Amino acid sequence: TERPRRCHILPGIASDKPRKTMSPAAERLRYILGDDEDTMPTPTLFTEMDTLQQEDDELEWRESARWVKFEEKVEEGGERWSKPHVSTLSLHSLFELRTCLQTGTVLLDLEGYSLPQIIDIVLHTEEGLIGPELRDKISFVLLRKHRHQTKKPIHRSLADLGKSGSGVSECSIFISPSIPTHTSRSMNDIADTPSTDQLKNKFMKKIPRDAEASNVLVGEVDFLEKPFVAFVRLSQATTLGGLTEVPVPTRFLFVLLEPPGKAKSYNEIGRAIATLMVDDLFSDVAYKARDREDLIAGIDEFLDEVIVLPPGEWDPKIRIEPPKKIPSADQRKSVFSLNELGQMNGTAGGGGPVSEDEEMPVPHELGEELAYTGRFCGGLFLDIKRKLPWYLSDIYEGFHIQSISVVLFIYLGCITNAITFGGLLGDATDNYQGVMESFLGTALAGTVFCLFSGQPLIILSSMGPILIFEKLLYEFSKNNGIDYMELRLWIGIHSCVQCLFLVATDASYIIKYMTRFTEEGFSSLISFIFISDAIKKMVGTFKYYPINIDFKPDYVTAYKCECLAPDTSKSILGIEHVSFEMLNITALDWTQLSKKECVKYGGSLVGKSCKYVPDLALMSFILFFGTYTMTVTLKKFKFSRYFPTKLRKLISDFSIFMSIMTFVGLDMLIGLETPKLIVPTEFKPTRADRGWFVMPFGKNPWWVYLASSVPALLVTILIFMDQQISAVIVNRKENKLKKGCGYHLDLLWVGFLMVACSFMGLPWYVAATVISIAHIDSLKMESESSAPGEQPQFLGVREQRLTGILVFVLTGVSIFLAPILQFIPMPVLYGVFLYMGVASLSGIQFWDRIKLIMMPAKHQPDFSYLRQVPLRRVHLFTLVQIVCLAVLWILKSTFLAIIFPIMILGLMVIRKMLDMVFSQHDLAWLDDILPEKEKKKKEDEKKNTKKDKKKGKGGDDSEDVSVLVARLFKERHRLLGFK
């Protein structure tokens, strides 16, 4: 009998192997859980276990453990809770619990509003088995006061300590003969209403608002000869005064009183029922059970799902840490759904069994947002209809402290990008477009897009291929005597018309054929561009400010720099504007002048150390790498063990701002002349001979207005592909966006903004993938109340327009913030760029598979696709993506970058060709099934269904016997009047 007690189990972990047949318990659960399709989900259960203790001849129930998701025990010292851990139960305790429920009292849907009333009903139910005197004793014990862990121990006086001796608690108690022989209110020692400690308990923050409680009471009494067991489910959850640690209404009550001698065994039974009550599947059974046998079927199914750990190979004293991701119980529950009678025990689907925390890949569907309507502007009207009801909430939901951090982060990224792009554009177009135009264009286009677009979380910016196009267009115009600004205006007009045509014809439907293969190739390329540009700019700092490697400490006496006076006659004749001080240069002490004064008065610097430059490169690298490292560290700080949850989250949200401020302060403290951010200070065009408005006629021949439609087509393809792929990445299902998309509406406004920017001579703008991903990541929301040991659950993204609007408004007024922004070192912003590039790679399966190539098999993470696809096929798929990425990188680095959008279309063609190399099963796990493949699958399923129906009419036994039995039972219950 001892061997089973040493075998411990991990509750609720499903086996990977599908079961071919259903047990009687599983058949019973099918009707318990499968009948009510439209009912609300069962509330979260907070379970508290109290054990009977004796303190100075007084009885009390003392809290010993609690559960929300995981178990927390009161440590032996009684002063603190243990760390949350996975409950490990002895197999013997589960069998004993099953016996208790079989032989004990089970009352379901009891009408009770106070603990004395409930106990009285339970005891009178067993009136034939329990005498009046015994009922009074049991009632007296059950109505003793409850001491919870939140309450501090009651300090006794020295006299009491002397009388009672040691203060050791005892489980075995003696009930004196003077106990009253009738139940009365005077026997009630438990508070009728929640105490102040209960109402102020901070643990309530860890429990969902709609949670209910289940109380487990376990104790030893010497007046019983056989166990007293009762399981009660109240018809309505009721707050039972001081029964529970927190003021949560009680729904379930489990009582176990037994003769003395087996305290450890009784506690294990209490832990077993408490663990069962927080199991997702059994809690559903407990809420919907109709009789005792339903509860026992729930225990049998729980036993069928557990995994046993051999006693000789595992130490049961070890506390298992909660998993980072809690396995979903939906897969277990779906087995008992009446809606899936044809899919027995998880055998449906082409992918075979999956792990407990991974599900079969969902077919690639982008929803109705990209449905082809076949009507003129049909998709656009649906976008407007979908987004209009959310417009007000898009504004007021932005008023949150998290938005402040997001605005500062994205703002710094945008102005850095605008300055960098503006400087390069000025060099490429002879300052027809420069930093000022870049600032104004970013502010104008971004603000309008965030105000009226379908997906305001997208951030607009300029991109590399557009820069190359502008450079080639300017050189073409210059060599052929064509006015560049007017030609560019007509290209913008034609491109806008073409975008409007694409919107009117629902051309965004093509995005359905962009699978994960194309998305990951594009987003990885943009991320690598951000990373490489940040590193290139940092390396360039070493060229402008080289490290002084020629310095030799032994020759320090030879390093000097003197200021020599100029030849007076030659100096004065060579200077046009001579000040009074310079006329009196003979009176100057040239040896005491500084470097600037020496140069100012025409002197010359002579010596080996005159060209010495402090090691600014090293300081710049410290600022660059320090900003990146600190940002990454603080971003992960919310998962650390230090400080309260709210403070950790606040530090994580403001990690980028804190990193920037820290290293800006360090730079000011050191005082070295590191390269700083340069912002225009006057509102005027960069080039003096141009204005803020471009005239459409008068400078070019008439045929240029028509011929410009050809290069406009290339620009349209570039904008369409970049905009829509970025939108697909932002609207991924993993981000849990709830307000819908607006692909057609977004493209409409991008087209309008092209015309507006062309008329004003501003750069063209399109969705910036990396900055948009950073925007999404910064706005992620997590659950505030999470069970102890449970990681906060990702709830979605704070969908609003306010952060984007504020970012671009700040960008526009940055010309007035130049006195403040000039203190920000450029290496700090390069560090922000590096973080944005690296952070956007997280969650990309392609990047995870690249790392797998360098890992031995035993160290590889347990990814779901590695269970389903051979490793060599995974590496082959990754190699194809690496080759495609390398080709895109080479094209991007040459003048051929202008055909970049065509190469993105080429990725879609390559993905189509992969159907001939990989099976649909492998592609379902590594990528997405193409839409037409899904259509064929559905058509085949329909054909097979029709064939099965015909066979059924012909007399074939096409249905499983268990399915027929299930339907017969359901019909029988309906005829008998069961709900």
- Can you give the pLDDT at residue 736? 80
Residue 169 has pLDDT above 90, yes or no: no
Is residue 335 scored above 50 in pLDDT?
yes
**β-pair type (604-606, 562-564):** antiparallel
Higher pLDDT, 904 or 579: 904
Burial state string for 131-158 with b = 16 or more CB within 10 A and e = fewer than 16: eeebbbbbbbbbbbebbbbeeeeeeeee
Is a pLDDT exceeding 70 seen at residue 390?
Answer: yes
Considering only CA atoms, give the Rg of the chain.
37
Of the candidates 739, 796, 801, which has an alpha carbon nearest to the alpha carbon of residue 456?
A: 801
Q: In 3-state terms, what secondary structure has residue 967?
A: helix
The Cα 573–Cα 585 span in angstroms is: 14
Calpha distance 136→131 (Å, rounded): 9
What φ, ψ does residue 418 adopt, rounded to 5°? -65, -40
Both tokens of residue 224?
Answer: 């019983």
Report residue 449 as tokens: 């897009």
Q: Report the pLDDT value the prediction gives residue 274, as an integer from 0 to 100.
A: 92
pLDDT tens digit string along 727-766? Answer: 888 887 777 888 878 888 888 888 888 888 888 888 888 8
* Averaged pLDDT score across all residues of the chain: 75
Q: Please tell me the predicted confidence (pLDDT) of residue 207.
A: 82
Give the whole-angstrom CA distance, residue 578 versus residue 570. Answer: 13
pLDDT tens column, 193-232: 777 777 777 777 788 888 899 999 999 888 888 889 999 9
What single-letter DSSP state applies at residue 460? E
Query: Averaged over 771-788, what is the pLDDT?
Result: 75
Report the alpha-carbon distance of residue 168 to residue 157 in Å, rounded.
16
For range 185-194, the mean pLDDT: 62
Q: What is the pLDDT of residue 901?
A: 66
**Cβ-count burial of 941 within 10 angstroms (0-12 exposed, 13-18 middle, 19+ buried)?**
exposed
Q: What is the pLDDT of residues 470-520, one digit of tens each?
A: 777 888 787 777 788 888 888 888 888 888 888 888 877 777 777 778 778
What's the mean pLDDT in 660-669?
A: 86
- Can you name the residues that pair with 635 across neighbouring β-strands? none
For the residues 908-914, what does the mean pLDDT come to?
83
Q: Which two three-digit tokens encode residue 214?
A: 């289940």
CB atoms within 10 A of CB 669: 8
Give the mean pLDDT of 439-464: 84
Position 25 scores a pLDDT of 73
- Judged by DSSP in three states, 443 sits in helix
The predicted-structure confidence for 840-890, as pLDDT tens digits, reads as follows 787 778 888 888 888 887 777 878 788 788 888 888 888 988 888 888 888
Least confident of 456-470, 604-618, 707-721: 604-618
pLDDT the model gives residue 932: 53
With tokens 């700040």, the residue in question is: 810
* Orientation of helix 516-544 relative to helix 900-913, angle to 10°: 140
Is the pLDDT at 170 greater than 50, yes or no?
no
Cβ proximity of 57 and 776 under 8 Å = no
Q: Would you say residue 347 has pLDDT above 50?
A: no
What domains are defined for the chain?
24-149+191-329 (3.40.930.10), 378-510+621-844 (no CATH)
Map 303-357 to HEC letters: HHHCEEECHHHCCCCCCECCCCCCCCCHHHHHCCCHHHCCCHHHCCCCCCCCCCC
Mark out the alpha helices in 180-223 (DSSP H runs): 196-199
Of 148-162, 474-488, 666-680, minimum mean pLDDT range: 148-162
**Band of pLDDT at residue 262, cut at 50, 70 and 90:** confident
Of the two residues 585 and 484, the one the predictor is more confident about is 484
Q: Which two tokens stand for residue 830?
A: 């390069």
Report how far residue 422's alpha carbon sits from residue 932's, in angstroms, rounded to the nearest whole number: 44
Candidate ranges 85-89, 391-395, 577-581; pick with highest mean pLDDT: 85-89
In this predicted structure, the answer to whether residue 179 has a pLDDT above a threshold of 50 is no
pLDDT at 231: 93
How far is residue 665's CA from residue 476's CA, in Å, rounded to a whole number?
47
pLDDT of residue 28: 76
**Rounded CA gap, 716 and 905, in Å?**
13
Query: Percentage of residues in the chain with pLDDT exceeding 90?
Result: 4
Residues 6+ apart with CB under 8 A from 160: 56
Instruction: Summarize pLDDT for 912-940 with one digit per residue, the tens.
Output: 888 888 888 888 888 777 665 544 555 55
Residue 605 has phi, psi (to 5 degrees) of -95, 130
pLDDT (average), residues 761-784: 80
pLDDT value of position 255: 92
Q: Residue 258: pLDDT band by 50, 70, 90 thresholds? A: confident
Name beta bridge partners: 107.
232
Amino acid at position 294, single letter: D
pLDDT for 218 equals 93
Q: Does residue 305 surpass a pLDDT of 80?
A: yes
- Residue 330 in contact with residue 132, Cβ under 8 Å? no
- Residue 376 in tokens: 């003129």
**Residues 608-616: what's their mean pLDDT?**
70
pLDDT at 339: 46
Average pLDDT over residues 118-133: 79
- CA 74, 76, 77 angle in degrees (round to 5)? 100
Give the chain's end-to-end CA distance (angstroms, integer): 43
CA distances to 342, 614, 649, 679, 944 from 664, rounded to whole Å, are: 64, 18, 23, 17, 68
Q: What is the mean pLDDT of residues 45-65?
A: 86
Q: Which of 287, 280, 316, 325 is nearest to 301 (CA)?
A: 280
Per DSSP, the residues of 583-643 read HTGGGS-GGG--HHHHHHTT-EEESTTTT----HHHHHHHHHHHHHHHHHHHHTGGGSSSS
Q: Looking at this protein, which amino acid is placed at residue 598?
A: C
β-strand 562-564 against 146-147: which pairing, if any?
Answer: unpaired
CA 524, chain centre distance (Å): 19
Backbone dihedral angles phi then psi of residue 169, each to the nearest 5 degrees: -80, 145
- pLDDT value, residue 272: 92
Average pLDDT of the residues in 336-359: 40
The angle, 0 to 180 degrees and rounded to 10, between the axes of the packed helices 709-730 and 464-480 is 170
- 3-state SS record for 490-540: HHHHHHHHHHHHHHHCCHHHHHHHCCHHHHHHHHHHHHHHHHHHHHHHHHH
**For residues 273-302, average pLDDT:** 88
- % pLDDT > 70, the chain: 75
- pLDDT confidence of residue 897: 62
Mention every residue, 6+ apart, whose C-beta is less than 8 A from residue 189: 143, 144, 145
- Which residues is 55 bridged to in the sheet? 58
* Mean pLDDT to the nearest integer, 111-133: 81
How far, CA to CA in Å, does 403 sit from each of 233, 606, 779, 806, 852?
45, 56, 7, 10, 37
The residue written with tokens 């704070």 in the block is 798
CB atoms within 10 A of CB 57: 10
pLDDT for the residue 906:
79
Mean pLDDT of 46-72: 87
Q: Residue 165's pLDDT band (boundaries 50, 70, 90)?
A: very low
Q: Provide mean pLDDT across the span 376-383.
A: 81
- Check residue 49 and give its pLDDT: 93
